[in-house]
Amino acid sequence: MFVMAVNVVDVSRSPYASLRPVPLDSVEVVSGFWGRWVNEVARVAILHQYRMLEESDRLNRFRWVSGRTSVRPVNSLFAFDDSDVYKWVEACGFYLAKREDEEVKGLVEEVIDDIVAAQEDDGYLFTEHHGAPERRWKNLTFDHELYCAGHLIQGAIALHRSIGEEKLYGAAVKLADLIARTFNPDGIRGVCGHPEIEMALVELYRETGERRYLETAEFFINERGVDSLRPPAEDKLNSTLYRILGGAEYFIDHEPIREMSEIVGHAVRALYLNCGVTDLYMETGEKALLDAMERLWHNFVEKKMYITGAAGSRYVSEAFGEDYELPNERAYAETCASIASFMWNWRMLLATGEARFADVMELTLLNSILSGVSLDGTLYFYMNPLASNGGYGRSPWFPCACCPPNIARLLASLPGYFYSTSKNGIWINLYGSSKATARLDGVDVAVVQETDYPWRGEVKLTVEVEEPAAFSIYLRAPGWCDDPRVRLDGRAYSPRPSTYLELHKRWSSRSVVKASFPMRVKTIASHPHVRNNISQAAITRGPMVYCLEDVDNKVDPRLVAVERRGGFRERFRKELLGGVMTVSFSAATINPREWEGRLYGSLESMRLGRRVRVEAIPYHAWANRGDSVMSVWLPFIDYWREASQRRRR
Amino acid sequence: MFVMAVNVVDVSRSPYASLRPVPLDSVEVVSGFWGRWVNEVARVAILHQYRMLEESDRLNRFRWVSGRTSVRPVNSLFAFDDSDVYKWVEACGFYLAKREDEEVKGLVEEVIDDIVAAQEDDGYLFTEHHGAPERRWKNLTFDHELYCAGHLIQGAIALHRSIGEEKLYGAAVKLADLIARTFNPDGIRGVCGHPEIEMALVELYRETGERRYLETAEFFINERGVDSLRPPAEDKLNSTLYRILGGAEYFIDHEPIREMSEIVGHAVRALYLNCGVTDLYMETGEKALLDAMERLWHNFVEKKMYITGAAGSRYVSEAFGEDYELPNERAYAETCASIASFMWNWRMLLATGEARFADVMELTLLNSILSGVSLDGTLYFYMNPLASNGGYGRSPWFPCACCPPNIARLLASLPGYFYSTSKNGIWINLYGSSKATARLDGVDVAVVQETDYPWRGEVKLTVEVEEPAAFSIYLRAPGWCDDPRVRLDGRAYSPRPSTYLELHKRWSSRSVVKASFPMRVKTIASHPHVRNNISQAAITRGPMVYCLEDVDNKVDPRLVAVERRGGFRERFRKELLGGVMTVSFSAATINPREWEGRLYGSLESMRLGRRVRVEAIPYHAWANRGDSVMSVWLPFIDYWREASQRRRR
């Protein structure tokens, strides 16, 4: 094994990063809630997806163009299908960082051979246009050439960092060099319809130290927003497609990045672009970039984010809607968009050291990201709606298969997000049983988390040092927690929610920090401008959002209404869904009988039926028992009475 | 003037029609609510739209292909743009039925010259493929050739019926003959991506008596639903477009018509198709067709229709959603879809004589159709959302300009829907000051309606006969009215809502029927499965749906909540919006202060503010004073309390 420092985002030398990640190979997540996801599920997903890549002809695309197969890959439909392979390779890269897994290693090496064999002499690598130089870079709007290149570069970097892989890495560098030669002020002035290359090039700059990659990333960011992606009017079909999808806004090409104040367009595109912009900021320190990111973040979190952390309100264009446009059944909430938000918030956390970004990471991870994969790792969601009338289930793969390998690379890299360091100490970003080691001012420090998080809010943190040293432990007080409590050396702290509590002292040998983040069942409302949630409540407990699924209940979740007197009872059910904390309560039911055959009627037709006891499960675990009827938001029948009692007179 | 019988749908000899329309030239609508719309607004719209047809190069398309202009028509973008002209021509046809208007007549004659000059020798007429026979009928999925032909035929029939026009009519017949020769079991087996030709061909059969047009219509209806519109996989762009729009369902090509039970797909396509199917039924009497139409009607009205009558819940695909999917801000609710529903319900009424269809016509007309045009007739809506956060206003025209001329032809033909006849008598379908004459068993009968409908529910009906005759007057008791009352000859009737009351007697000289349909302000709820309307109410009065618009109120309509104790007060304000009945009430307000900078929070952040008096206007009249914030559905704060009181124990 190498001496490694495997980071997803390696800002260890970035001048404008506030935090440095503790590399994922320095973190062990072996037990507890995350142990299963990071180890078992990630492996199952990687092996399952390998079979899918074969069956769906994704690998055969590469073999076909290089002549390694003579069977035309008819099951792969999209120009961007190469990227599914690259993301899977990236997942393998992170997965192999700490594990000797010959099966996975063998598979990824074969795949690398197939990929590299498809590279053209000058470095070009995009199977859709293989051997057709006249088609290169001609349809930047829709072709996804640079998008695929970005994923190739990220995949190659992951393997390079984790197992010192050189072959794919060399191919990626060669492609990046071609891109840098091609796109610049004296070359093609254009950008990719789907952002992604930006963050990949910044990362390649970090890996190689070659400034031209950073400059190319900056070029793409600067060229964006000048309407260069609009197809020529005479190209009627592409023009129609462009218009239907939402025009310049869909491509985040409607306005220069530094001027943006509203997050719009295709959610994954927008959030990947923000990753690249934040990465660029950490290298250049240009304030206008961070200011724009702050504006977009506030717009996102305060007006466009689902309570599960998900992003994207609109079908077809897979896009952000207007402020407060957050439909539940028709939430698009693509798994990739949640992952993209996680990736962006991670970069914002690294840039600023502010806990609010880690709060969004946690929320998104535990709810709208985990909902994207079945508990066993082999079935996926593309959309993650907040309510379902049934008929929507998980799939082992998709014709457009961006989400499954995105989940795999995230799970495989997850330990890399738990901890970070600054010059003053170690930061605990995410909670879960784990162990991290880091070197601070020449002293090796080990931090061990023991906790039943996210089911219980007690965290025991053991800090061990080789030799006494003064530094700080920064402990995130989660934003969802009203009364965080921390104890160290007999002293009690009550940090403000959504901040990092700094515990500074001279640590010697072994110290124990005890944190308590009481998890209470809450009923949450949304801003009154979210009209479809008016008079409804969502049930949360700690960082988890809950939902009612029909399989657990005798009544259709769409006919359940929460009452204040419902008496919430929490119970850990280890036999259910791999072990989950459920929340049960007594609920009112809506009697639908008066409504048969009618869509509209007198208010008097609304009547309540008998009370029932219902049981809610964590949202992320829904749809693991077949198609179901599900709802996160539930009518809250004391809503107006309580709001009236609080009337301002 | 000719002796005319100008019907939009001429079922006077259709064996399976229950009712025959009283032709629009036998109906006078000169005063009252409808007088202005039918006369002034229709004329203004026709003249305004003529200018738009010029400016937007719609007319120049025809002139360009025939060589009458040498300036390329760059402002007309879509292959189907010919149809805008044809619908305008149809509007002129109906408009000229009763009026000597030399200006309109002169314009339409010039336009006809331009159209006919563009026809090819064999009858083909579609400017997009003019002179390119190799492109004919090749892309039935997207090209709209048959759709445009249908509109041409309808326009030509209207003029033929109203002013005896022959030139355009001859061109239409020639085109129809080409279509009948081309599409048949031995020719091309295909259908148009956009239904429309079906009803046009049935109407041409009615006009000419030529059975081959009926057979061609039936052929198109029979060929639908066998997935013939799917582009070949190698046509990647059209395949992508097809998939994005919603595939076979979008085109209503997913299932044979006789098997359908759910209304799906592009709303205008679906509803136009239903018009053609119902037309076919009235000629052939095939029960399977009417049964399918009944199933689709129930699905539409009971699960997919907006309270305004509008159709289509989804943007981009302009399509029906799932059952109970009825978003308000993002209602697509295209003006054309409402008109299409009106047209279909008219045919269903003619086929069956059942009042429920006239109820939907009235609802749709007064709410979601009239909302599609400004009070002065020169500004239009394409989408008719049920709520707006501002920033959405009316336009004088659209790049895709289907809606404006659709409105014009509907307004111009409106008198033709008021009355119908059966062998037993005269049917009063719609209320409004008007006068109709009809011949029943050789006796001329005149019916005069005097009423302030839709503002007041009293209708005085004077029936005059040349000579005594026994027949019935069928008076529609509107479905919205709880206690309709009718008096004739000292006798009182209390018909069931949503039925036709038959008044049979031997009528002599002059009789007066007095109907009273009390209009009370109602608060209406929707089926609890319409999750976004839960705990909300819509205000209605008679057939009118109301909304709150910010320009009338001191408080943002999105922060208004209705209370039972609000004390609704109705008031006719003749100075407002051309004269409307408003509904004012005392409302609770939602205090948004706790929500600044937050999207989610404790239920305790929901609090009410001070009470305010607000005034609601008829929904159709909104957005006549610039962009505004508007909402039809309003939170009803006694909702849960009242529902609890009605709890079944």
For the segment B360-375, the average pLDDT, to the nearest whole number, is 98
With CA atoms as reference, the chain B residue closest to A635 would be B534
Rounded Cα distance between B450 and B469, Å, is 23
- The yes-or-no verdict on residue A2 having pLDDT over 80 is no
Per-residue pLDDT at A343: 98
CB pair distance less than 8 Å for A637 and B649: no
**A402 has catalytic annotation:** yes
Interface mutation vs chain B, best among A534, A559, A565, A634, most B CBs within 10 Å: A534
What pLDDT was estimated at residue A605? 87
Residue B496, H or E segment: none
Residue A1 has pLDDT above 80, yes or no: no
**Across all residues in chain A, what is the average pLDDT?**
96
Structure confidence at residue A57 (pLDDT): 97
Q: How far is it, in rounded angstroms, from Cα B118 to Cα B68?
A: 9
For residue range A127-177, list pLDDT tens digits in order.
999 999 999 999 999 999 999 999 999 999 999 999 999 999 999 999 999
Question: What was the pLDDT predicted at B233?
Answer: 87
Q: How many angstroms away from the CA of B595 is the closest CA of chain A?
A: 6
Average pLDDT of the segment spanning B290-306: 98
- DSSP E strands in A137-196: the ranges are none
Cβ–Cβ below 8 Å for B642 and A604: yes
> B569 has which bridge partners?
B584
Residue-wise pLDDT tens digits, A415-463: 999 999 999 999 999 999 999 999 998 899 999 999 999 999 999 999 9
Q: Residue holding tokens 């009458």?
A: B68
Asked if the Cβ–Cβ distance from B524 to A321 is below 8 Å, we say no
Does the pLDDT of residue A233 top 90, yes or no? no
Q: If you measure CA to CA, which chain A residue comes closest to B636?
A: A640
Assign B23 to helix, strand or coil. coil
B241 contacts in chain A (CB < 8 Å) = 237, 240-241, 244
Task: Give the per-residue pLDDT at B648.
Answer: 59
> CB distance B532–A536 less than 8 Å?
no
Mean pLDDT of B244-266: 97
Distance CA A611, CA A633 (A): 18
Query: Which candidate from B532, B599, B640 shows the least CB-CB separation from A303?
Result: B599
pLDDT tens by residue, B482-515:
999 999 999 999 999 999 999 999 999 899 999 9
Give the one of A389, A530, A606 whose C-beta lies nearest to B525's C-beta: A606
- Which residue in B151, B41, B34 sits closest to B416, CA to CA? B34
- In this structure, how many other beta carbons lie within 10 angstroms of the beta carbon of residue A409? 28
Under the banding of pLDDT at 50, 70 and 90, the label for residue B77 is confident
User: Which string of DSSP letters, residue by residue, matches B86-133?
Assistant: HHHHHHHHHHTTS---HHHHHHHHHHHHHHHHT--TTS---GGGTT-G
Are the CB atoms for A450 and A438 separated by under 8 Å?
A: no
**Chain B from 517 to 546: CB within 8 A of any A CB:** 522-532, 534-538
Candidates B119, B118, B62, B117; CA nearest to B85 is: B62
- Could you count the other beta carbons within 10 Å of the beta carbon of residue B494? 10
- The CA-CA-CA angle for residues A6, A10, A14, to 5°, reads 155
Do the chains contact at A646 and B240, CB–CB below 8 Å? no
- Kindly report, residue by residue over A205-226, the tens digit of the pLDDT: 999 999 999 999 999 999 999 9
β-pairing, A600-602 vs A521-526, is unpaired
Mean pLDDT of B226-238: 90
Pick from A298, A321, A535: CB nearest B535: A535
Q: pLDDT of A56-78, one tens digit each?
A: 999 999 999 999 999 999 999 89
- Considering only CB atoms, B640 lies closest to which of A524, A531, A637, namely A637
Q: Tell me, what's the pLDDT at B2?
A: 43
Q: What is the pLDDT of residues B117-166, one digit of tens each?
A: 999 999 999 999 999 999 999 999 999 999 999 999 999 999 999 999 99
Percentage of chain A beyond pLDDT 90 is: 94
Closest CA relative to residue A570, chosen from A618, A525, A516: A618
Cβ-Cβ contacts under 8 Å for A523 (sequence gap 6 or more):
A537, A538, A539, A562, A636, B602, B603
Q: Answer whether the bond into residue B399 is a cis peptide, omega within 30°.
A: no
pLDDT value at A643 more than 70 = yes
Residue B481 contacts A where some CB pair is shorter than 8 Å: no
Return the residue in B535, B594, B637 with the most chain A beta carbons within 10 A, the one to mutate for interface testing: B535
Contact at CB, A532 and B529, closer than 8 angstroms:
no
* Interatomic CA distance for residues A297 and A262, integer angstroms: 9
Instruction: Quote the CA–CA distance of B78 and A119 in Å, as a whole number.
Output: 41
Taking contacts as CB-CB distances below 8 angstroms, the residues of chain A near B332 are: none
Among the partner-chain residues A317, A525, A644, the one whose CB lies closest to the CB of B603 is A525
Contact of B275 with B343, CB cutoff 8 Å: yes
R_g (Cα) of chain A, nearest Å: 25
CB-CB under 8 Å, A534 with B635: yes
Chain B CB within 8 Å of residue A605 CB: yes
Which listed CATH number (2.60.40.1180, 2.60.220.30, 2.20.25.240, 3.40.50.300) goes with A421-516? 2.60.40.1180
What pLDDT score was predicted for residue B299? 98
Selected residues 608-647 of chain B with any CB under 8 Å from a CB in chain A: 608-610, 631, 633, 635-644, 646-647
* Chain B residues closer than 8 Å to A644 by CB: 588, 608, 637
Q: What is the pLDDT of residue B1?
A: 37
Calpha distance A154→A433 (Å, rounded): 28
Interface of A with B in 559-598 (CB under 8 A): 559, 561, 588, 590-592, 595, 597-598
Q: Which residues of B touch A305 (CB under 8 A)?
A: 599
Strand partners of residue B87: none
Tens digits of residue pLDDT in A17-59:
999 999 999 999 989 999 999 999 999 999 999 999 999 999 9
Instruction: Kindly identify which residue of chain B lies nearest to residue A307, measuring between CA atoms.
Output: B600
Whether B645 has a pLDDT exceeding 60, the answer reads yes
> Domain A20-225+236-417 falls in which CATH fold?
Glycosyltransferase (1.50.10)
To the nearest whole percent, how much of chain A has pLDDT over 70? Answer: 99
Q: Enumerate the active-site residues of B.
A: 318, 402
The pLDDT of A295-311, averaged and rounded, is 98
Residues of chain A contacting residue B563, judged by C-beta atoms under 8 Å apart: none
Q: Tell me if A642 and B606 make a contact (CB, 8 A cut-off).
A: yes
**Predicted local confidence at residue B205, as pLDDT:** 98
Task: Supply the pLDDT for residue A419.
Answer: 98
Exposure on the CB side of residue A80, measured as CA atoms within 13 A: 22
Burial B227-260 (b: 16+ CB within 10 A, else e): ebbbbeeeeeebbbbbebbbbbbbbbbbbebeeb
- Give the Cα separation of B373 and B394 in Å (integer): 8
Q: B134-142 contacts: CB < 8 A, separation 24 or more?
A: B137/B182, B137/B188, B137/B190, B139/B231, B139/B238, B140/B190, B140/B191, B140/B192, B140/B193, B140/B228, B140/B229, B141/B193, B141/B229, B141/B230, B141/B231, B141/B238, B141/B242, B141/B251, B142/B79, B142/B193, B142/B238, B142/B241
Give the whole-angstrom CA distance, residue B230 versus residue B247: 7
From the CA of A445, how many Å to the nearest CA of chain B?
A: 38
Interface contact A330-B321, CB threshold 8 A: yes
> How far apart, in whole angstroms, are the C-alpha atoms of residue A70 and residue B224?
39
pLDDT of residue B3: 45
Q: Identity (one letter) of the amino acid at B318?
A: E
Question: Residue A488: its pLDDT value, please?
Answer: 97
Segment 264-283 of chain A within 8 Å of chain B by CB: none
State which residue of chain B sits closest to A631, comparing Cα positions: B531
Q: What is the mean pLDDT of residues A499-520?
A: 97
**Length of chain B, please?**
649
- At a CB cut-off of 8 Å and minimum separation 6, what does B82 contact? B58, B61, B62, B125, B126, B127, B128, B148, B151, B152
Q: How far is B132 from chain A (nearest CA, A)?
A: 18
Domain boundaries, chain B: 20-225+236-417, 421-516, 521-648
Q: Does B498 touch chain A (CB under 8 A)?
A: no
Choose the mutation target among A295, A320, A599 for the interface with B, i.e. most B CBs under 10 Å: A599
Burial of A102 (0-12, 13-18, 19+ CB in 10 A): exposed
**Pairing between strand B469-477 and B425-428?**
parallel
Question: Alpha-carbon distance B563 to B577, whole Å?
Answer: 27
